Amino acid sequence: MANRTIAILRSDPDPIDPSNSRLTLSDNGVTFVDPGDVVTWIIDKDCEKITSIFIHDDARFDLFDPDPAPVSGSTRWTGVINPKTAEKIQAKNSGKPPEPIVEGENYTIYWSEEGRIYSFDPIIQINPKT
């Protein structure tokens, strides 16, 4: 299990359409993880705070267990990649050639800036154990 740190380096809010806003992330918006990894989001000075990290209802896998939550006394958030995710991915892909399979899931980071809420959808790429 590794700690995967995602730094929010810059925010580009769209005041007309908040869902069209963007974050510049240290991993360019695609995080490669293994089941059991701890993911930590660190906020740079542009964002006031993360208000939530939401996993889409149509997600194919239960991506986090436990779900992302704020770290008490800080502006950081952490979540753990569900260790059972690899089993579900391997079961889904049974009968296919024995090679590493990468599965991705979108999630949404909601953040506040100047009293408004904005959102951005990065990707978590899950590398199942072989």
Alpha-carbon distance 109 to 50, whole Å? 7
Half-sphere exposure of 85 (CA within 13 A, CB side): 27
Alpha-carbon distance 125 to 73, whole Å? 29
Cβ proximity of 7 and 102 under 8 Å: no
Q: Name the class of domain 3-126.
A: mainly beta
Task: Please report where in the chains the tokens 């006031």 appear, as a residue.
Answer: 48
pTM: 0.81
Between residues 122 and 62, the one the model is more confident about = 122
Render pLDDT for 75-120 as a digit per residue (tens, 0 to 9): 899 999 988 876 666 666 566 554 445 567 788 999 888 888 889 9
Cβ proximity of 6 and 23 under 8 Å: no
| pLDDT cut 90: percent of the chain above it | 34
Cβ proximity of 103 and 40 under 8 Å: no
Q: Is the dihedral of CA 27, 84, 1, 119 positive or negative?
A: positive
Render pLDDT for 2-31 as a digit per residue (tens, 0 to 9): 999 999 998 888 888 877 888 999 999 999
Task: Name the average pLDDT for the chain.
Answer: 82
Q: What is the mean pLDDT of residues 48-65?
A: 80
Render pLDDT for 109-130 as a digit per residue (tens, 0 to 9): 998 888 888 899 999 888 766 5
Q: What would the two tokens of residue 37 be?
A: 């990894």
Type of residue numbered 75: T
Can you give the pLDDT at residue 96? 59
